Amino acid sequence: MPAPEVLIIGSAGYVGRHVSAGFAQAGYRVAGLARPSGTPINSAYRAVPGDLADPPSLVAAARGFDLVIHLGAILNAELDIAGVDALIEAGSPLIITSGSDVLGAGHVDEDDEPHPHPLVGWRDEVERRALAAGHRVIRPGLIYGAFGGVVQNMMVPVARRLGAGVYVGEPDVRWGAVHVEDLPPLYLLVADKAAPGTVWNAIAENVLVDRLAALVGCGKTISWPLDEPVPEEYAPIAGLFRLHQVVSSEKTRREMGWSPRHTDAVASLAREFAVAGVPVRMEDLTGTMT
């Protein structure tokens, strides 16, 4: 019997590269959605023409696969909803990547009803359509590690420019977080054993945003006033800097058997910074994690 074939949308992206490699190592035949003029697909994988900005193209692209994993970029309400409808129409088993921000603020778990932040206000509809059709959803929080993600791409440039790490408002906001290397094992577990129409939280810990700011600022932080425009690097996700969440993944760990290896984002990132030659002293970092 031939190995199962998986189409990974976003296979050339930050998370997609890791998930693609994980499925290839697990014996899957990996294919990547190849957008015109997009980042080239790894030559080890089969390239499949298609474009999230052209939802009808996704029907033919996704048809016939043993599994489709959507790790592509969030675009807008019209395209994202049309895109999930097209993938459902294709008829292949599907794992949709959402995010913990769809759950809203407060203490939340896998069984809570979504109350999405306005920045991603349509993502709960994307989830509902996928779940109603018997597909599965994974919700990561802040994804970090391997020199990528929001910390490296947004927080570090601001700290370098201003000479201090920046958080917004009071030093009390927590985000659910997960190391990018802990995601491939969860996607494999969900692909192998999750029931149709189920949702899973990919959260290894809840980290204080001001502690991340202290890390990237080498102990120096700025509390950015709520009534002032955020630094330009933060603009794409400005509202999320005040979205306080404590996200549980207890159900995911118990039922999927997921056991993330990275459970201290600040320590993990400090090791990365040390490799890059950035001086970080853990004793300079403020705050605690839960």
In 3D space, the residue among 195, 105, 213, 106 whose CA is nearest the CA of residue 159 turns out to be 213
Q: pTM of the full predicted structure?
A: 0.95
Average of per-residue pLDDT across 242-257: 97
| 76 closest CA partner among 53, 106, 47 | 53
The answer to whether the beta carbons of residues 240 and 101 sit under 8 Å apart is yes
Inside any domain, residue 290: no
88 and 211 in a single domain? The answer is no
Residue 283 has pLDDT above 60, yes or no: no
* Predicted confidence band of residue 285 (pLDDT cuts 50, 70, 90): low
Distance (Å, whole) CA 221 – CA 215:
9
HEC profile of 129-170: HHHHCCCEEEEECEEEECCEHHHHHHHHHHHHHHCCEEEECC
- pLDDT tens per residue across span 24-39: 999 999 999 999 888 9
186 and 46 in one domain? yes
Within this chain, do residues 77 and 150 fall inside the same structural domain, yes or no? no
* Residue predicted with more confidence, 119 or 61: 61
Nearest C-alpha neighbor of 239 from the set 120, 153, 92 = 120
Nearest to 138 by CA among 103, 196, 93, 98: 98
The count of structural domains within the chain is 2
Check whether residue 279 and residue 169 sit in a common domain.
yes
Average pLDDT over the chain reads: 94
Which token pair is 276? 């890059």
Residue 156 predicted with pLDDT over 90: yes
- pLDDT of residue 284 exceeding 80, the answer is no
Is residue 253 domain-resident? no
Q: Which domain holds residue 121?
A: 5-142+178-202
